Structure 1
Amino acid sequence: MATVLSVSGSPSATSRTARLLRHLDAQLSGRGHTVIPLDARTLPAEALLRADFGHPAVVGATELFARADGVVIGTPIYKAAYSGLLKSLLDLLPQYALAGKTVLPLATGGTTAHVLAIDYALRPVLSSLGASHITQGWFVLDRNISVAGDGVLTVAPADAEALTATVDRFATALESTERVAVHG
């Protein structure tokens, strides 16, 4: 099965975005894929802000992208765009870091006014990084994600159903890419 890098672009340690990604990671793992989580906030800020391509943490993150067959990119939407933290990470990747990869963009935000940020802000950057196939992404309103005191994540039923379909499309795209590579 495929190796999937699951990247959270949220700067918050209690991020709904990251928790949602980890929830989706479990779905992908359940389908037999190996999922590697990467929270961009754990990378050294100085390395990201100074564009230190040689910093060991940046080199390590770049290697994770290189090893992955597929990449899930999750970000909160601020001011109609993906997070600056995610932008800093993506800026440090090689020009075609997503070449040959299937990519799933996901976003969370406070208002439906941000829904188009996936298609008009994030998708062009993912495409410029050479993504072979960007599957249909999904946007979830913050209010439709709740986390109980014990850490259990609950997603509103309509979004949960749509997210399952979104993950299924991504997994199907990954699996068909694998079949082509093996039988190519």
Structure 2
Amino acid sequence: MATVLSLSGSPSPQSRTARLLRHLDRRLECQGHTVLPLDIRDLPPEALFGADFAHPALRDVTDLVARADGLVVATPVYKAAYSGALKALLDLLPQHALTGKTVLPLATGGSTAHVLVVDYALRPVLTSMGAHHVLPGWFVLDRAIDVASDGSVVLDEDTAAALHPVVDRFSAALVSLDVPADGGEPTHPPTFSALSV
């Protein structure tokens, strides 16, 4: 099975985005994938916002991206765009860090007015970094994510019914990677775009 880097772009320690992502991590793990969780807020801010390319923490992130077969990239929506913390990290990664990777972009927000952030803000950046297969992104309303007293996440019924198949398609895309015998880049099924709430 595949190695997945699960990247939360939220700067908040109480982030619904991060909690949603960890909920989805467990689904991927149950399907046999190895999931490497990473919260950008845990990176040293002086390295991240000071663009310290040589900092060990940022070198470690670059290594994690290189090891991963796929990434789930999740962000809250701020000012009709993805988070500044996510932008800062993506800016510090090598230009083609996502070459050969399968990527699932996710966003959370308080209003359906932000639903296009995934395709019009986040997807172009991921594609520009060389991702060969960016799956259709998904937007989840904050109010659909309920955090229980033990910190676990409960999604409302409609959201779970829509989002879980999205994650399953990502899982299937990882399993179907066709790696050439000569060690070249894997090929992927065609990419197409769709969004839903």
User: What range describes the TM-score normalised by the shorter chain of this pair?
Assistant: over 0.9
What CA distance in whole angstroms lies between the structure 1 residues aligned with 2:165 and 2:137? 10
Partner of 2:20: 20
What CA distance in whole angstroms lies between the structure 1 residues aligned with 2:54 and 2:152? 38
| Bigger fraction of residues in helix | 1
Deviations along 1:62-95, one digit per CA (max 9) or x if unpaired, are 1000000000000000111000000000000001
What CA distance in whole angstroms lies between the structure 1 residues aligned with 2:14 and 2:133? 30
Between 157-166 and 118-127, report the one with greater CA deviation. Answer: 157-166
Q: Which amino acid aligns with 1:137?
A: G
CA 1:132–1:143: 2 relative to 1, 3 Å? same
CA 1:183–1:175: 2 relative to 1, 3 Å? farther
Identity level (%):
66
- Residues 42-57 of structure 1 mapped to structure 2, 5 A cutoff: 42-57=42-57
Partner of 2:161: 161
Given that residues 107 and 140 in structure 2 are in contact (C-alpha distance below 8 angstroms), is that contact kept between their aligned partners in structure 1?
yes
* Number of aligned residue pairs: 182
The DSSP-based 3-state class of the residue aligned with 2:63 is: helix
Partner of 1:171: 171
Q: Which amino acid aligns with 1:134?
A: V
Q: Which amino acid aligns with 2:79?
A: K
Task: Report the CA distance between 1:137 and its aligned residue.
Answer: 1.5
- Residues 28-177 of structure 1 mapped to structure 2, 5 A cutoff: 28-177=28-177
Task: Report the CA distance between 1:148 and its aligned residue.
Answer: 1.4
Cα RMSD (Å): 1.0
Task: Report the CA distance between 1:152 and its aligned residue.
Answer: 2.2
What CA distance in whole angstroms lies between the structure 1 residues aligned with 2:156 and 2:181? 40
What CA distance in whole angstroms lies between the structure 2 residues aligned with 1:24 and 1:61? 21
Q: Which amino acid aligns with 2:179?
A: A
Deviations along 1:34-63, one digit per CA (max 9) or x if unpaired, are 000000000011111111111000000110
Aligned structure 1 segments of 4 or more residues deviating by more than 3 angstroms: none
The DSSP-based 3-state class of the residue aligned with 2:37 is: strand
What CA distance in whole angstroms lies between the structure 2 residues aligned with 1:89 and 1:15? 18
Task: Report the CA distance between 1:183 and its aligned residue.
Answer: 5.8
The DSSP-based 3-state class of the residue aligned with 2:179 is: helix
What CA distance in whole angstroms lies between the structure 2 residues aligned with 1:108 and 1:67? 27
What CA distance in whole angstroms lies between the structure 2 residues aligned with 1:151 and 1:78? 24
Structure 2 runs not aligned, ≥5 long:
183-197
